[in-house]
Structure formats: C-alpha cells, structure tokens
Amino acid sequence: MNRKFILFTALAILASVFSIQAQDIHSRASIDVSGKAEKLVDPDEIILSIVINEKDYSKKTTLENLEKDMVKSLKGIGIDVKKNLSIVDLSSDLKHYKLKKDEVKLSKTYRLKTSSAKEATLVLIELEKVGISEINIAQVKCTKIEDYKDEVRALAMKDAMRKAKILTDAINQPLGKAIYITENDYTNARSYPRLMMSKSNGIMEDAMVEEALPDIEFEKIKVESRVQVKFALD
C-alpha cells in the first residue's frame, strides 16, 4: 500500500513539474521562427537486380554457362564480382507439355552493386551482349546520406536563427537562447521503374551508347530539413 502511495505521489510531482515548465515556456517573451535548408546530392551506389534464365528447352542454355558468361563480362569492365555480386534467389518453373513431358526451367536472381550511372550502364550493355537482358534498377542511393542530413539540419537551424535575428534587430530587441526546437527531415530518392535491356525495345547501338556515356547520370537525391524554433527574448 505504501509503495503504491509513494509511486502515485512521485508521478503527481513529475506531472506538476512538467506543467510548470510548460507554462513557464509559454509565459516567456519569445519569438517563433521556421528554418529550412536543402541539398541535392549525387547517388554513389546503384543496385542492379539481374535475372538469368535457362532459355528454350530443345537447346537449353544452362545456368552454369550463363553465370560464367556474366562473370566474365563483369570482370571485363572492372567489376569486383567477389565484393559486389551476390545471389538473391534460385527458383524453378515446372512446365507441362502436350506430350506429357515435364521439364524444369531454372532461374537465378543476382544483386550487383555499382558505383555510378556510367558503370551501371556499361553493365547493362555488356550483359546484353551475352544474352542477359532481364535487368532492373533495384535501388539508387547515397552512402553518405546521414552526413548530408546532419549538414542540412545545421543549415536549417542557422536559417531559423538568421530570421529571428533580422526580426529582433528591427525592434532593437536582444535575441535569447532557443527554448524549443522541432525538426522534420525529408529525403527524396526517386524510385526507378523496371528496366529491360534488349535491342527490340529501343536500346542504342554500342557506338551510340559509348558516345553518350559521359553525359549519363541519375537524378540527384534531395535532402531537406525544416525546423521550428522558439527563441527567448532577453
């Protein structure tokens, strides 16, 4: 019984303290301002999803041969396959024929990490040459995004302080400390649609692609921070 009474009393005291503090904040002479900052950053990691399939059943191209061709092509353009290539899924598709013969079509899905739009494009071109065309852009991101978020947060706070200083200077009023801060951040990383590499759906010839490669880039990622700050007026 005593323990319950002590706990109830402690909670009541805490609630009273918080209430007094809240009243104190709102009763002070203060100014509320917002701050905003944003930055566009280049993605430095493009994740490709690569699916390889055994093709027609009469002259089956085995997964093993396709894998060898894929690895050889990737190494040929400087990709570290041990570090950047990993298998995601192995599946089979059982097909039924009129002659009542069953045959299994195997497929594998790989995840490949590339470091630039140019490198990702080279991968698409080279794998197309060996008959691997089911390639998706799974993810586009920036590995240093948290550092950029911190940078933008600081800039948003400076923007809020700048606005508060302009307003208080106009009435010759000293600006006090920040007594309340809220912040919202936002990162706009575009979701890329499924990309199929094949000559039949409009892929450029090799010479045209190589000529265009230096200008290829993915949309920049927008990092944004908004803050709401209450400053005391001294």
Strand intervals (E) in 142-203: 175-188
Which of 105-119, 187-201, 216-230 shows the lowest per-residue confidence on average (mean pLDDT)? 187-201
Range of the domain at 162: 28-43+143-189+219-234
Name which of 37-41, 96-100, 105-109, 131-135 the model is least confident about. 96-100
Looking at the structure, do residues 110 and 55 belong to the same domain, yes or no? yes
CATH number for the domain harbouring residue 51:
3.30.70.120
> What total of structural domains would you count in the chain?
2
What is the distance between the alpha carbons of residues 187 and 221, in angstroms, rounded to a whole number? 7
Q: Residue 55: is its pLDDT beyond 80?
A: no
pTM for this predicted structure: 0.64
Same domain, 129 and 162: no
Tell me: do 56 and 91 sit in the same domain: yes
Contacts of 122 (CB under 8 A, 6+ apart): 77, 213
Q: What angle (nearest 5°) sits at the alpha carbon of residue 192, between those of residues 187 and 195?
A: 165
Is residue 76 assigned to a domain? yes
* Per-residue tokens: 174: 């000293």
